Amino acid sequence: PVNADRIAEDIDALAGITDPGHPWTRRAFSPLFLEGRAYIEARMKAAGLETRIDAAGNLIGRRAGAKPGLGTILVGSHSDTVPDGGRFDGIAGTIAALEVARSLKDRGIELDHDLEIVDFLAEEVSIFGVSCIGSRGMTGQIPEAWLSRVSGDRTLSQGIAEVGGDPSVLLSQKRPDLAGFLELHIEQGPVLEAENKDIGIVTAIAGITRIEITVEGRADHAGTTPMDRRADALVAASQLVLDIRSRAAEQAKTPGHFAATVGEFRIEPNAANVVPSKVVLLIDGRAEIRSDMEDFLTWIDGEVKTIAADYGVTINPPVRVSDNMPTPGAPVLLETLERACETVGAKHRRMASGAGHDTAWIAKVAPAAMIFVPCKEGRSHCAEEWAENDDIAMGAAVLFEAVRDMDKN
Amino acid sequence: PVNADRIAEDIDALAGITDPGHPWTRRAFSPLFLEGRAYIEARMKAAGLETRIDAAGNLIGRRAGAKPGLGTILVGSHSDTVPDGGRFDGIAGTIAALEVARSLKDRGIELDHDLEIVDFLAEEVSIFGVSCIGSRGMTGQIPEAWLSRVSGDRTLSQGIAEVGGDPSVLLSQKRPDLAGFLELHIEQGPVLEAENKDIGIVTAIAGITRIEITVEGRADHAGTTPMDRRADALVAASQLVLDIRSRAAEQAKTPGHFAATVGEFRIEPNAANVVPSKVVLLIDGRAEIRSDMEDFLTWIDGEVKTIAADYGVTINPPVRVSDNMPTPGAPVLLETLERACETVGAKHRRMASGAGHDTAWIAKVAPAAMIFVPCKEGRSHCAEEWAENDDIAMGAAVLFEAVRDMDKN
Ligand SMILES: NC(=O)NCCC(=O)O
Ligand SMILES: NC(=O)NCCC(=O)O
């Protein structure tokens, strides 16, 4: 029911509106980002949509429904990217949503509900250090303190105003009209490709918990200090990294997605001939089932005590830097999406999202769900990021059928 | 036979010629360094020494001997410091050497040999990234390429010229006149203090071998990539750190000083939600006995292969960034120093130096040896670095007796 060529044309065009030295970079708030948006807005208009920028800086294309007051079906994703990646991450979902509106127009199908296609502002961690600005902002979930975050010579508030948003009314945004939200996204993992599935129906977006741990040892001369008289922070932190890996691998074997990763790791003084005195590391934990995260948090509290004792270092209690709950997909929409897959003949499976998405924020105020399409080797956030256009078109077809189904109910 | 108060006075005065915000910083080539040297030079002159700066930028105070042609007895250390440390590291030995000359003068003792007191230029790793410039330079051991190393707006060659050296004749320096060299230094380790000894007679300066290892994994999304499909460079590198520690601890139990430390450790991309793709780490190895280092090098070559296989990462063969042989103290001088300890009643033991010293470079061209005095808790290269003045004075007395003994033989 959708036009695959038109999807490819738009995704390729947007890949051209990126920094060639850093493929496929189009950072939120940058001139390239505004250029990309101008392209998307023009395509929205060509699809007969009425465009606007909402208070949170989201680009929205609207098509009024036949029955005013029934509410709005919202579909979309984001067009900003991480540095050095993002050819499909966000864009595939934005263009697939646009294609739903185009296909409805092509076929002369009128919906009862209003339909809005959205390009959320700054889903990725932006220059202001925070993510999902558009989806949080649309639904009044931006903490006030964020507005004064600074990057370069502007605040987040100014950044939102520059893309056309209205910070003065941002904190009080509500969307009581939302009847439902759907997002298509590349999986960013290897499961669909490995299992030769077309569509992942996302049962839940894993909660993300960030835990900072500081290991403090003693800076000693690496040449002269006997091996048995050291308090080497790097050695203790290395034990911690290995134990976190083993524990996470065990928890991952039980039902429900679970992962834990040490992605940030800094040592001091980081000098060739000095025994490391300090390591600060950050654990990124993901859990589809909250009790899994609780178990992990309890375990890590005990684990650092054991390591501190074993290695003669000091480790303060782990600091929970951030802690978000898992977000289940709306059950009714999971069924809608399953029916849509059957209708278009897509091989599908249910699965959790290990990554965070705008859907998690919209889900706080309205029924929301998302689908994944396969991506090559699970890679994303890198230049190699790739998804087959036919897979994206299949996803767009699922969205098309699901939107029609939602409109009936 | 020496004046402890005079030693304290000089060391305290030099501690005052440091950066108060960064105790006890007096970096080679800095204005504070030249100020410290002006103080030392004035004190050398007051001791009746004839001062000069040699081609390598070493400050030398000379006292002619009674029998021209017998050769020169050289005694000294360095007055530059590491950043944020160095109250005694270097200075204790420079002032103790000066005190030997002063005591000889006080007592009207004339030596047969010429005597030179030296403050070596830039023993610590300097702003030019290399160490022991003065002791290497005095003896023609500076690699030519080093002279064009750059820091800020000057080359090492210009830096040496600015402190009064002569780069044009530096590479051909020889000191065929050297009859022997002695250096006093703080131990920078905990052994003498723990064993309640006054003096360590250094049997050998350990060889220093630096080994760089690059672990390459795959940058994957930390949220979505299943635990069993990762090539996490940090996890593999952590295993390596633990295994190096265990191996070094084992080797340290056999005769001969041995230590191995991972002091530099950098991960990429170092982002919270990305599985680390790369770790570059640097091992600092120290061995009193060369075959211990050979054993370690053989072991590490095999170890990285095991870890690469176990963790699904790539580890190129370890790169030997630098590799210096152990330097034994001249046996005749070790006996001289032992006799001197007995004469002054110093409790002494033989021990290796795990740290590198100027003595290692002078030892390449002349009989050389060094003594250690205790320092508090083995700490050095930090603000807490401390040595008791009485211990330094005891060391100076040992030097005094040793110089007189050398002069007789
Ligand atoms: N989808 C995605 O990559 N979101 C970024 C936040 C995260 O999950 O780490
Ligand atoms: N003595 C001393 O700290 N030398 C610095 C070189 C080293 O041994 O690491």
Give residue-wise pLDDT tens across range A341-365. 999 999 999 999 999 999 999 999 9
Ligand 2 near A273 CB (within 6 A): yes
The closest ligand to the CA of B120 turns out to be 2
Contacts of B35 (CB under 8 A, 6+ apart): B17
The average confidence (pLDDT) of chain A is: 97
In B269-391, beta strands by DSSP E: 278-287, 314-315, 319-323, 327-328, 348-353, 368-373
* pLDDT-above-90 percentage for chain B: 97
Residue B270 near residue A266, CB atoms below 8 Å: yes
Separation between Cα atoms, residue A280 and residue B226, nearest integer Å: 25
> Which atom of ligand 1 sits closest to the CA of residue A356?
8
Cα distances from B368 to residues B103, B112, B182, B334, in angstroms, run 22, 19, 6, 9
The average confidence (pLDDT) of chain B is: 97
3-state DSSP call for residue B89?
Answer: coil
Ligand 2 near B357 CB (within 6 A): yes
Q: Which residues of chain B lie closer than 8 angstroms to A191, CB-CB?
A: 226
> Which atom of ligand 2 sits closest to the CA of residue B124?
5
Q: What are the tens digits of pLDDT across the range A239-257?
A: 999 999 999 999 999 999 9
CB-CB: which of B188, B210, B223 is closest to A272? B210
Residue B4 near residue B393, CB atoms below 8 Å: yes
Which residue has its alpha carbon closest to ligand 1 atom 8?
Answer: A355
Residue B275, min C-alpha distance to chain A (Å): 6
Q: Which residues of chain A lie closer than 8 angstroms to B234, CB-CB?
A: 241, 262, 265
Cβ separation B381–A252 shorter than 8 A: no
Cβ separation A249–B242 shorter than 8 A: no
Name the pLDDT band for B409 (thresholds 50, 70, 90): confident
The dihedral region occupied by A256, where left means phi > 0, alpha psi between -120 and 50, and beta the remainder, is: left
In B19-113, beta strands by DSSP E: 50-53, 59-63, 72-78
Separation of CA B82 and ligand 2 centre (Å): 10
Q: Which of A261, A262, A370 to mutate to test the interface with B (most CBs of B within 10 A)?
A: A261
> Which atom of ligand 2 sits closest to the CA of residue A223?
8
Residue A263, min C-alpha distance to chain B (Å): 5
Helix (H) or strand (E) holding B268: strand B258-268
- Contact map slice: A 310-369 vs B, CB within 8 A: 353-356
- Average the pLDDT over A176-184 and give the result: 98
Contacts of B240 (CB under 8 A, 6+ apart): B213, B215, B262, B281, B303, B304, B307
**pLDDT of B275 strictly over 90:** yes
Q: What are the tens digits of pLDDT across the range A44-77?
A: 999 999 999 999 999 999 999 999 999 999 999 9
Separation of CA B213 and ligand 2 centre (Å): 22
**pLDDT of A409 strictly over 90:** no
Residue A187, min C-alpha distance to chain B (Å): 8
Cβ separation A261–B284 shorter than 8 A: no
Q: Which residues of chain B lie closer than 8 angstroms to A265, CB-CB?
A: 234, 265, 267, 270, 276
- Average the pLDDT over B175-204 and give the result: 97
CA closest to A222 among chain B residues: B261
In eight-state DSSP terms, residue B225 is S
Counting ligand 2 atoms within 8 A of each CB, the residue from A220, A225, A273, A275 with the most, and so the one to mutate, is A273
Separation between Cα atoms, residue B120 and residue B368, nearest integer Å: 15
In the prediction, which pLDDT does A214 show? 98
- Average the pLDDT over B328-345 and give the result: 98
In the prediction, which pLDDT does B250 show? 98
Separation between Cα atoms, residue B63 and residue B67, nearest integer Å: 12
CA dihedral B218, B222, B223, B224 (to 10 degrees): 10
Helices (H) and strands (E) counted in chain B, each on its own, are 12, 16
CB-CB: which of A224, A232, A238 is closest to B189? A224
Cβ separation B263–A273 shorter than 8 A: yes
Tally Cβ neighbours within 10 Å of residue B46: 11
Degrees, nearest 5: CA angle A209-A210-A214? 145
Separation between Cα atoms, residue A91 and residue A89, nearest integer Å: 6
Residue B188, min C-alpha distance to chain A (Å): 6
Cβ separation A265–B270 shorter than 8 A: yes
Q: What are the tens digits of pLDDT across the range B43-96?
A: 999 999 999 999 999 999 999 999 999 999 999 999 999 998 999 999 999 999
> Is A379 within 8 Å of chain B by CB?
yes
Pairing of strands A59-63, A50-53: antiparallel
Separation of CA A208 and ligand 1 centre (Å): 9
Separation of CA B223 and ligand 1 centre (Å): 7
Cβ separation B272–A266 shorter than 8 A: no
Cβ separation B261–A273 shorter than 8 A: yes
Cβ separation B380–A261 shorter than 8 A: no
Ligand 2 near B257 CB (within 6 A): no
Q: Is A9 exposed, middle or buried (0-12, 13-18, 19+ CB in 10 A)?
A: middle
Name the pLDDT band for B319 (thresholds 50, 70, 90): very high
Q: What are the tens digits of pLDDT across the range A80-133?
A: 999 989 999 999 999 999 999 999 999 999 999 999 999 999 999 999 999 999
In the prediction, which pLDDT does A333 show? 98
- Average the pLDDT over A291-297 and give the result: 98
Q: Which residues of chain B lie closer than 8 angstroms to A385, CB-CB?
A: none
**pLDDT of B330 strictly over 90:** yes
Q: Please give the structure tokens belonging to residue A396.
A: 């767009």
Q: What are the tens digits of pLDDT across the range A189-238?
A: 999 999 999 999 999 999 999 999 999 999 999 999 999 999 999 999 99
- What residues line ligand 1, using a CB cutoff of 6 Å? A 188, 355-357; B 223, 273
Q: What are the tens digits of pLDDT across the range B352-396?
A: 999 999 999 999 999 999 999 999 999 999 899 999 999 999 999
* pLDDT-above-90 percentage for chain A: 97
Q: Which of B89, B212, B215, B238 to mutate to test the interface with A (most CBs of A within 10 A)?
A: B238
The closest ligand to the CA of A183 turns out to be 1
> Which atom of ligand 2 sits closest to the CA of residue B381?
3
CA closest to B241 among chain A residues: A235
Q: What are the tens digits of pLDDT across the range B194-212?
A: 999 999 999 999 999 999 9
Cβ separation A276–B265 shorter than 8 A: yes
Cα distances from B303 to residues B30, B115, B308, in angstroms, run 43, 51, 9
Cα distances from B91 to residues A208, B29, B103, B118, B119, in angstroms, run 54, 16, 18, 11, 9
Separation of CA A188 and ligand 1 centre (Å): 9
Separation between Cα atoms, residue A67 and residue A48, nearest integer Å: 18
State the sign of the Cα–Cα–Cα–Cα dihedral A248, A251, A252, A253.
Answer: positive
Separation between Cα atoms, residue A324 and residue B124, nearest integer Å: 49
Q: Is B140 exposed, middle or buried (0-12, 13-18, 19+ CB in 10 A)?
A: middle
What DSSP assignment string belongs to B186-224? E--SSHHHHHT-SEEEEEEEPEEEEEEEEEE----BTTT
CB-CB: which of A190, A241, A264 is closest to B238? A241
State the sign of the Cα–Cα–Cα–Cα dihedral B393, B396, B400, B406.
Answer: positive
Residue B6 near residue B28, CB atoms below 8 Å: no
> Which atom of ligand 1 sits closest to the CA of residue B224?
8
- Average the pLDDT over A142-151 and give the result: 96
Q: Which of A185, A209, A227, A230 to mutate to test the interface with B (most CBs of B within 10 A)?
A: A227
Separation between Cα atoms, residue A327 and residue A146, nearest integer Å: 23
Cβ separation B188–A378 shorter than 8 A: no
Residue matched to tokens 């044309």: A9
Ligand 2 near B132 CB (within 6 A): no
In the prediction, which pLDDT does A100 show? 98
- Contact map slice: A 177-196 vs B, CB within 8 A: 187-191
Cβ separation A252–B191 shorter than 8 A: no
Separation between Cα atoms, residue B28 and residue B18, nearest integer Å: 12
- Contact map slice: A 221-280 vs B, CB within 8 A: 221-229, 232, 234-235, 237-239, 241-242, 245, 248-249, 252, 258-259, 261-267, 270-276
Residue matched to tokens 């210096």: B324
Separation between Cα atoms, residue A179 and residue A193, nearest integer Å: 32
CB-CB: which of B188, B237, B274 is closest to A221? B188
In the prediction, which pLDDT does B387 show? 98
